[in-house]
Structure 1
């Protein structure tokens, strides 16, 4: 799939649910959100069919399963097995908060999952409880260890530093990842919280993250791998790689190869898109694969040049991150 700017799209992010078992302060309110009705969520059969169309007809080679929290999806190992049995099969990965990973890592690896990204914004139990409004840090750390041990590699740890909240842990998180053989990634916070309370001056920029890291480590630049969102550095004297995703201050929209499918079957050509294409309605009204392919291509052809966060014309998407999928 090629858009009007010549970008070829090969990476599909698929949200399996908008539900989550944490209530991270930068994502949703303490009371949670109104979840999608069960009947609106794509079934396993519908997900497999859409991804099959994407891999056979549209050139998708990588699929990342997201949420909400995807480990809350019942029968996830069976769905993973069906996706890895597709011909051609996508390279399949998962983004999770890690709370349930220790219980599912073995089954997911056996089903064909290749790797995981785990969100972890602090190593301090008390701070974790404040940030997520849950006491589950020990479960996440257990999940990381088991994921590494069963071969879901590289295990990537994602952290969002926020000023005055956890920005003093940037180097500690990097050291933790290095010690345990994980790959650390820091992500600039983005205006995708359900509360609409994002403030730019609370965002720790990529430059600030890099400055903190260089005060403790010698970093050797690697750069950006293909169309990957992260700029990477290796810590001298180690095999440890640190990535920074600077969606706000160093946008990489010009090389974006991603497209997103929400849990209720809406196709989004950008994380910050304000319009969606309804694939679920097509599916449930009997559309054949040719019609689904055409709808997908039409959506991609309408993709804009970038997210425009830094423009006065920027409009936040109506959906929060938890309902879009990471």
Structure 2
């Protein structure tokens, strides 16, 4: 952190202390306070406006936490992992269920109101339903979401809904079965399509479809994906191809947001831009008269770092404050050392405080050492 950044972060902390002199910044919240109702917490003047630990030196408030439940996956998507797979972390070094929930509770207590479960493939974790059920009990947590490849989703959906799952993102990179199998190196196209229909049937609206666009592979299907939104409440999200270890990224494979948008507008010139929230990653659009909408995740050509509100915990318990950053802090080791909530929060706050203003840019990050996407959790 530069001196200027450090001063800004200290200023944020100082202002919080000035406005809340009766509450020590690093004082652990007693167990009795953790059980208070949300109404009591909202009306208590001693509760901080937003946690200093989750506020970085640029004033960004991180209220969105992505937790990877497993490194394992039943697909081998080309953009996510090497064809030969990855070396998995020994089971004992992965976060246990109780550790996942302990960390989730701590982050929610500090202001996180949305948690997304990722992987690998989160739905292959045997206790995923139990985790969702327990997360939904956390006071202050508004949204529990899952990103899945959809292979096991249809079978589990009724139980996931009963457990309280709020949002679903399903990965689908081609509408051509043979091409789908080429991209993911496995079969399963019809299972994914069945899962999308089942999610719509059970009332999820919108059902988000994540499509990584790669030149020479699926950029010719953009219009077909947009057509999916005509009669179903889907949000198809076109994701720029991003570099991660083992996926052989190169600039020529990346199809930019602007190029995709131009192609779609040739077919639908009256495409409407929709208003986005301040921390939304997707630039969203709608074809007038269509039931669903589409979005673009422009991480490479037009980053949205300035409004980033996301933190990530990997399956082995490392905190990543930036998807493209290679610095990590092991919350697992700190947790297993018997550290108090106060100590954990100090470590988390220090990591968040070191978060950079933005990632290094597409050409630099393609040369940086980072995990394969499957070991990050997206």
Q: TM-score, normalised by structure 1?
A: 0.96
Residue among 257, 262, 272 paired with 1:211: 262
Which residue of 2 is the match for residue 92 of structure 1? 144
> Is 2:101 aligned against 1:16?
no
> Is 2:317 aligned against 1:265?
yes
Which residue of 1 is the match for residue 20 of structure 2? none
Once residues 19 and 258 of structure 1 are traced to their aligned partners in structure 2, the CA distance between those partners, rounded to angstroms, is 23
Give the superposition deviation at 1:68: 0.9
Once residues 78 and 130 of structure 2 are traced to their aligned partners in structure 1, the CA distance between those partners, rounded to angstroms, is 32
**Equivalent residues of 1:114, 1:153 under 8 A apart:** no
Residue among 220, 225, 240 paired with 1:168: 220
Q: Which structure 1 residue ranges, 4+ long, deviate > 3 Å from structure 2?
A: 310-315
Worse-matched range after superposition: 84-93 or 263-272? 84-93
Once residues 54 and 290 of structure 1 are traced to their aligned partners in structure 2, the CA distance between those partners, rounded to angstroms, is 12
SS of the residue 1:290 aligns to: helix
Distance 1:282 1:170, change over 3 A: same
State the superposition RMSD in angstroms.
Answer: 1.4
Which residue of 1 is the match for residue 303 of structure 2? 251
Give the superposition deviation at 1:291: 1.4
Give the superposition deviation at 1:95: 0.4
Which residue of 1 is the match for residue 85 of structure 2? 32
Residue among 276, 279, 284 paired with 1:224: 276
The C-alpha deviation readout for 1:141-174, integer Å capped at 9, x for no partner, is 1111112222333210010111110100011011
Residue among 183, 197, 209 paired with 2:248: 197
Count of aligned pairs: 324
> Is 2:59 aligned against 1:6?
yes
**Equivalent residues of 1:272, 1:317 under 8 A apart:** no
Once residues 114 and 29 of structure 1 are traced to their aligned partners in structure 2, the CA distance between those partners, rounded to angstroms, is 32
The higher radius of gyration belongs to 2
**Equivalent residues of 2:111, 2:140 under 8 A apart:** no
**Equivalent residues of 2:71, 2:374 under 8 A apart:** yes
> Is 2:343 aligned against 1:291?
yes
Structure 2 gaps, min length 5: 1-53
The C-alpha deviation readout for 1:65-109, integer Å capped at 9, x for no partner, is 001111111121111000101122341000011111011111111
Distance 1:121 1:75, change over 3 A: same
> Is 2:107 aligned against 1:54?
yes
Once residues 170 and 363 of structure 2 are traced to their aligned partners in structure 1, the CA distance between those partners, rounded to angstroms, is 31
Residue among 183, 198, 209 paired with 1:157: 209
Give the superposition deviation at 1:216: 1.8
Give the superposition deviation at 1:179: 2.8
Once residues 300 and 229 of structure 2 are traced to their aligned partners in structure 1, the CA distance between those partners, rounded to angstroms, is 24
Once residues 28 and 59 of structure 1 are traced to their aligned partners in structure 2, the CA distance between those partners, rounded to angstroms, is 33
Give the superposition deviation at 1:313: 7.7
Q: TM-score, normalised by structure 2?
A: 0.83
SS of the residue 2:258 aligns to: helix
Give the superposition deviation at 1:239: 3.6
